């Protein structure tokens, strides 16, 4: 993937981009708080890396992120739904929306919210690179044949900086899932305690009323998912 980044860099000036909508900005404020400058973020409806495929092992259905999708039976073929370069998030056409939070805060699609939160975390990593050490080349280096850089354990003594860049995006994504479906779950509380020192202002609870979230849980036991 590292060798493909120059291609994306060339596209930076060629691809039309949109700013975050007001609803997307409101949602981002509940995740990254004031540490993300949402006025600099741009969304692009094209991701040239989507054409490339990789194979990974199936993930165990132990996390909120995995239990809102059908159980995986491996090997799993994956494609890159979105890629971030600097302040721009490139979404493949099947995953691009004009507004990922169109009904927020009255309702939301959880899948869309999690995807947006994950990619905005990469923008945050770039904007705060003096602290995170982030670069697109370092992030690309986490990917490779047979590697799943999104998997993570959650030790009791872990801090956010212990995790890789994709794992950090996964942690934020998992928190969005857990606080929506199981806000009082033990995993939800652990994730909040992990993220709060890094994202002051992160909301402990979702703003979306219970029952107004589009999602399906496997098995259907939303109350104990985290």
pLDDT single digits (tens) 70-108: 988 878 888 889 999 999 999 999 999 999 999 999 999
Indicate if the pLDDT at residue 144 is higher than 60: yes
Rounded Cα distance between 72 and 178, Å, is 20
Residues whose CB is less than 8 angstroms from the CB of residue 126 and which lie 6 or more positions away in sequence, other chains included: 84, 86, 87, 134, 136
Lookup: tokens for 174: 């998992």
State residue 142's pLDDT score.
Answer: 84
State residue 3's pLDDT score.
Answer: 54
Higher pLDDT, 49 or 35: 35
- Return the bridge partners of 148, or none: none
What residue has token string 């860099």? 9
Rounded Cα distance between 204 and 202, Å, is 6
Q: Residues 141-166: what's their mean pLDDT? A: 87
Peptide bond preceding 149 in cis form (omega within 30 of 0): no
Percent of the chain with pLDDT over 90: 65
Indicate if the pLDDT at residue 154 is higher than 60: yes
Residue 111: band (very low, low, confident or very high) from pLDDT cuts 50, 70, 90: very high
Indicate if the pLDDT at residue 50 is higher than 90: no
pTM of the model: 0.91
Of 97, 99, 86, the C-alpha closest to 26 is 99
Indicate if the pLDDT at residue 146 is higher than 70: no
Rounded Cα distance between 92 and 150, Å, is 19
């Amino acid at each position: 993937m590292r060798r493909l980044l120059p291609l994306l860099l060339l596209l930076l000036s060629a691809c039309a981009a949109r700013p975050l909508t007001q609803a997307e900005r409101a949602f981002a404020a509940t995740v990254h708080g004031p540490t993300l400058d949402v006025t600099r973020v741009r969304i692009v409806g094209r991701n040239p890396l989507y054409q490339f495929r990789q194979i990974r092992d199936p993930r165990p259905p132990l996390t909120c992120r995995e239990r809102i999708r059908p159980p995986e039976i491996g090997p799993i073929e994956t494609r890159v739904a979105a890629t971030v370069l600097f302040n721009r998030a490139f979404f493949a056409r099947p995953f691009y929306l004009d507004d990922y939070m169109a009904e927020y805060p009255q309702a939301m699609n959880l899948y869309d919210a999690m995807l947006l939160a994950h990619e905005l975390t990469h923008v945050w990593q770039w904007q705060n690179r003096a602290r995170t050490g982030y670069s697109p080349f370092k992030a690309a280096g986490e990917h490779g044949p047979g590697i799943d850089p999104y998997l993570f354990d959650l030790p009791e003594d872990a801090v956010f900086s212990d995790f890789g860049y994709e794992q950090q995006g996964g942690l934020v994504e998992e928190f969005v899932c857990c606080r929506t479906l199981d806000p009082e779950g033990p995993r939800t509380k652990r994730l909040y305690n992990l993220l709060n020192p890094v994202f002051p202002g992160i909301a402990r609870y979702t703003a979306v009323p219970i029952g107004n979230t589009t999602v399906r849980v496997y098995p259907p036991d939303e109350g104990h998912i985290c």
